[in-house]
Structure 1
């Protein structure tokens, strides 16, 4: 038997067996069609795997970019609004780190351009049960940003509230300047930092750890945080580690883990689709989760 004939019979054998077991008329195209279809679906499965892998990789890159966008925003705030990395050392450091981690600098540079952004503002969201969410964005097209985010939160049973209603009534806004502990500046312990905080007009002082080193957060009113930063730099030669304003809910709402998972899914979708969203704050505490309390 020739090789070609054996190859042909190997292909049509399943069709011959089917014919022998039934009254269906044998057609040699049956085996070829089955063979072709199997290969097509195998290819389809491979394509799906590649697509899912690529989507996961793209999502990971997007999350990394979001982290550095927030870092850029904080660096600009800490630098008094200076968007030029040549004049803002903290911003230059963030960009260098982003480049080292393969984050596209074009994304961060576009974020830094004033024509694409404006001063941060809050899009305020509420859900049944007294759940409140603040979404901070600096996208220049405020109305478009609100409209698009409204479409996302609506799918999760939430709605947009008038500006200022939630932020002012249900959250306290604080700010802090974090500086490293140092014998040179007499910031060696909490007592020394407290005395120093009184001198610079801080409302409160907290001892923290930054990169394994002792540091101190000096809390103040958000309207005074820039003045405090400049005071530390110019009058005391202390370079802040970071400057940030924080929103603290006046009261918290308990949700179960399933409801919280839905919230996280909504937050992730918002961040994936809105690159100028800086942070999302809520008044949620998860039942049985001490880390959220």
Structure 2
């Protein structure tokens, strides 16, 4: 569940989601639980929950699973206690990395992440050390199709409150402010657009291209280990990956 807007990375993310669906759903369920406990079960009132539901649907999480997670979070017997902790650091050759976690043991999570960064040529930094190089944006990806007119979807997106619209070879990329993200998603759904990805992400202002094969391997290993950690929810970085 990495935060990239380039289509090669989105396809890569979707392929990993399909291969590790159970683990992804567990992580999304944890996010839903925390959102419900902090803001209630009504997504029209709880904007954070509404954003996570859009994210869950873009990861192909069935509505029944989403409903069960919400009901479980409301149950008296649910004593799960997680906290949001964001870590920042650098990968090989100064690649900026942000890791968002939900954890019930911050010492365990911090130790795991420090180990990954140290092992794969990076280092953990302090809060704010790299986040200034990113902007928080809503990103909606809609695949191109014969029944979608570009002029029409452009106007529909902008009328719904989108900040920017970009047409690429295979898809349309719609950018929103974090506050307007859920409303734009809902407006596009009402017009029967189906999205391939919809998340509020940390978007890099600039990208770094790695040229050394060892650095590329270490960066790949860092991302893989972070993604496999149960406490890690999302990873954002400014590495410009090569198209596969």
Q: Same fold (TM over 0.5)?
A: yes
Structure-2 residue corresponding to 1:94: 61
**Number of residue-to-residue matches in the alignment:** 202
Unaligned runs of 5+ in 1: 1-60, 99-108
Decide whether aligned partners of structure 1 residues 199 and 246 sit closer, same or farther in structure 2, where only a CA change above 3 A counts. same
Give a deviation string over 1:203-233, Cα, whole Å, max 9, x none: 1124479xxxx97543101232123334455
1:209-288 aligned within 5 A: 216-232=172-188, 236=190, 238=192, 241=195, 242-255=197-210, 256-272=212-228, 274-285=229-240
1:199 aligned onto 2:162: no
Decide whether aligned partners of structure 1 residues 138 and 218 sit closer, same or farther in structure 2, where only a CA change above 3 A counts. same
Which is richer in helix?
Answer: 1
CA distance in 1: counterparts of 2:152 and 2:19, whole angstroms: 43
If the length of structure 2 is used for normalisation, what is the TM-score?
0.61
CA distance in 2: counterparts of 1:127 and 1:165, whole angstroms: 13
Equivalent pair of 1:175/1:245 in contact (CA under 8 Å): yes
Structure-2 residue corresponding to 1:3: none
CA distance in 2: counterparts of 1:180 and 1:74, whole angstroms: 26
If the length of structure 1 is used for normalisation, what is the TM-score?
0.52
Unaligned runs of 5+ in 2: 1-17, 36-42, 66-71
Please point out which of 116, 135, 147 is paired with 1:152. Answer: 116
Aligned residues: CA RMSD: 4.5
Deviation, structure 1 residue 123: 1.3
Deviation, structure 1 residue 282: 2.0
Equivalent pair of 2:141/2:198 in contact (CA under 8 Å): yes
